Amino acid sequence: MSKPFLIIQLRPEDATADNELDAIKHYGALEDSEIIRLRAEQASLKDIELSGYAGIIVGGSPFDISTPADQKSATQLEIEAGFSDLFDTVIAQDFPFLGCCSGNGLLGNYLGASISQKYAEAVGGATVALSEEGKRDPLLKGFPDTFRVLLGHK
């Protein structure tokens, strides 16, 4: 790979951020030499030069984009403003971007999608049964035909 992926994380807890990074590397089949990690709660999103990266991957966070602005922390407001500026460039350049959880919500909000808690659900368990197509999906290789998952989201 000639350029690394920029992985932007928003999780302030080191252990959680490390676990998320490990998952992104594992499922993205990425080596340490193929990524640059940026912790958005610790470093600015300003002056990111997209030409230095193959793409951007953004993980989850404890923040909720649908929280009223007057209830957001200064850190959340700063991160959201940084992403708004970053998206100006990402969209203008049609730059590869994968938003997972908060990354998806931030992009959706930037693009004008309605982000709310209307369909929020409590955390709970569910059984997933793979379809025939799912059983052939390389992302699910090694998974059993049925398995339990933890789901729910704000």
Q: What is the pLDDT of residues 33-49, one digit of tens each?
A: 999 999 998 998 988 99
In a domain, 129, yes or no: yes
Together in a domain, 56 and 89:
yes
Q: How confident is the model at residue 121, as a pLDDT?
A: 77
The Cα–Cα gap between 11 and 56 comes to 16
Q: How many structural domains comprise the chain?
A: 2
Q: Is residue 54 scored above 80 in pLDDT? A: yes
How many Å separate Cα 59 from the centre of its chain?
Answer: 2
Instruction: Give yes or no: residues 40 and 98 share one domain.
Output: yes
With a cut of 70, say whether residue 154 has pLDDT above it. Answer: no
Average pLDDT, the chain: 91
- Residue 32 DSSP one-character state: G
How high is the pLDDT of residue 1?
A: 54
On whether both 62 and 126 belong to a single domain, the answer is no
CB atoms within 10 A of CB 8: 25
User: Percent of the chain beyond pLDDT 90?
Assistant: 67
Residue pair 8/45 in contact (Cβ under 8 Å)? The answer is yes
34 shares its domain with 92: yes
Question: Is there a single domain that holds both residue 28 and residue 102?
Answer: yes
Mean pLDDT over 1-30 rounds to 93
Q: Is the same domain home to 32 and 79? A: yes
The percentage of the chain sitting over the pLDDT mark of 70, rounded to a whole number, equals 97
Say if 115 falls within a structural domain: no
Q: Are residues 103 and 126 in the same domain?
A: no
Establish if 116 belongs to a structural domain.
no
Residue type at 113?
A
Its sign, for the CA torsion 144, 150, 152, 154, is negative
For residue 69, give its domain range: 5-110
Instruction: Kindly tell me if the per-residue pLDDT of 153 is higher than 80.
Output: no
Tens digits of per-residue pLDDT, 81-129? Answer: 999 999 999 999 999 999 988 898 899 999 998 887 787 777 788 999 9
CA distance 24 to 100: 10
Q: Are residues 62 and 129 in the same domain?
A: no
